[in-house]
Amino acid sequence: MSIIDFRSGVPDLTHFPRQIWGKMVQRACQEAPLSAFGYGRPEGRLELRQVVSRYLYRTRGVQCKPEQIIVTSGATQALTLIAKVLLGQGKSAVIEDPITQDIQTIFKATGAVLRPVSTDEYGLMTEQLPSREESAPSFVFLTPSNQFPLGGTLPIQRRLQLIRYARLTDCYIVEDDYDSEFRYDSAPISSLQGLAEERVIYIGSFSKILSPGLRLGYLVLPPDLVERYRDAKWYSDLHTPALDQLALAMFIEEGHLEKYISRVKKLYRKRRQALCGALEQTFLGTTDIRILGASAGLHIVAAFADIPFTPALLEKLQVAGVRVYPVEEHAICPGRHVDKIILGYGNLSEEKIVEGVKRLYSVLSVAGSLSGENL
Ligand SMILES: Cc1ncc(COP(=O)(O)O)c(C=O)c1O
């Protein structure tokens, strides 16, 4: 029996536009100027930065010139560069709790202190930001379009409160916009960056909208930070591969990216429906189940009242052929999210999703876990 893996953050891999991408790569190689085969600039190819700045203005309300963009190897490298430039011993970052464990690790590796602020169904609880009398953090990190993992979208009042806080304490805001394109029930919310260009460091990635294997992302920086990030990128890996950047620039410029996003969005919408529908039908009347974060992204969170997803329960699920991911793994302050699991659906067919929910039920319905007994 092959395992059904509800890993989050993996887009559909079978629909990757191999043919068109292949053509772009071939053309990039044939048409690229000689400079693309030598050592390039750390900020990346101008062709790509120009296209990305237009794309971001059109789709995310991001206001930037190509000179404010640094092309990176995915959002992960963008986060590493941010940590390198702005964190270190004696510094601190305010960060959403829960938040991807990898991001916590990257920031903590510098010796900086993380100052967690809770999130609710609307994202970062801005009323819990440290008081202005406390020392200012280097930045506030958040995922305002689709909080990872809980899935909230930060309302405008909180956005304004956050910007006010950043201006008063003279800190930056790091906006990780890793999968904002996938919003199913309403138009995408504009970026925070568009509201405070001088304060926000914006992170974007092509991992979810195209392929994580490409390792392509970018930073949009306030103008006064650009020089330091160029240096950090240079001393990290000189620059991101030039031909990949040129292929991507053509792919976006010729409209293939937006067509691809609109095609896969339909697929994800169906998968999301299959998952939410299967959970509701299967668990109807058996337990109090709450679904969070279904309006955007490639995963949902399911909260099962009184079922703690302990290592023993996760092991039983794995033996039954289904892998799910506890929210608690990403918690900074432990204990608040033990009843929640992350279910990624981006790279699973509807049949697999339905079968995965059946397997989940088969384990939770034995040993009394659905009536609230701890496993
Ligand atoms: C919140 C968040 N930010 C950033 C990333 C990293 O993405 P990338 O593949 O672009 O490095 C992830 C990966 O899943 C993520 O969940």
Q: Domain map of the chain by residue range?
A: 4-13+259-366, 18-256
What's the confidence (pLDDT) of residue 355?
Answer: 98
Q: How far is CA 269 from CA 153, 231, 263, 295, 299, in A?
A: 18, 41, 10, 9, 11
Shortest-distance atom of ligand 1 to CA 217 = 10
Burial status of residue 102 (CB atoms within 10 A of its CB: 0-12, 13-18, 19 or more): exposed
What is the per-residue DSSP string for 162-200? HHHHHHHHT-EEEEE-TTTT-BSSSPPPPPSGGG-TTTE
What's the confidence (pLDDT) of residue 369?
Answer: 63
Q: Residue type at 257? A: L
What's the confidence (pLDDT) of residue 263?
Answer: 97
Burial status of residue 156 (CB atoms within 10 A of its CB: 0-12, 13-18, 19 or more): exposed
- How much distance in Å is there from the Cα of 281 to the middle of ligand 1? 32
Residues 136, 142: Cα–Cα separation, whole Å: 16
Name residues of the chain where pLDDT drops below 70: 367-375
- How much distance in Å is there from the Cα of 140 to the middle of ligand 1? 17
- How much distance in Å is there from the Cα of 75 to the middle of ligand 1? 6
The residue whose CA has the least distance to atom 5 of ligand 1 is: 75
What's the confidence (pLDDT) of residue 288?
Answer: 85
Q: How far is CA 228 from CA 179, 224, 352, in A?
A: 26, 9, 47
Ligand 1 pocket by Cβ (under 6 Å): 9, 74-76, 100, 143, 148, 176, 178, 205, 207, 212, 217
Burial status of residue 346 (CB atoms within 10 A of its CB: 0-12, 13-18, 19 or more): buried
Is the Cβ–Cβ distance between 184 and 265 less than 8 Å?
yes
Is the Cβ–Cβ distance between 341 and 292 less than 8 Å?
no
What contacts 213, CB < 8 A, 6 or more positions away?
none
Is the Cβ–Cβ distance between 114 and 144 less than 8 Å?
no
- How much distance in Å is there from the Cα of 205 to the middle of ligand 1? 8
- How much distance in Å is there from the Cα of 344 to the middle of ligand 1? 14
Pocket test for ligand 1, best of 154, 202, 207, 301 (most atoms within 8 A of CB): 207
230 membership: H or E segment, kind and range: helix 226-237
Burial status of residue 227 (CB atoms within 10 A of its CB: 0-12, 13-18, 19 or more): exposed
Is the Cβ–Cβ distance between 71 and 303 less than 8 Å?
no
The residue whose CA has the least distance to atom 3 of ligand 1 is: 178
Is the Cβ–Cβ distance between 42 and 72 less than 8 Å?
no
Tell the CATH superfamily of the 4-13+259-366 domain. Aspartate Aminotransferase, domain 1 (3.90.1150.10)
Domain spanning 18-256: CATH 3.40.640.10: yes
Tokens of 157: 């009042």
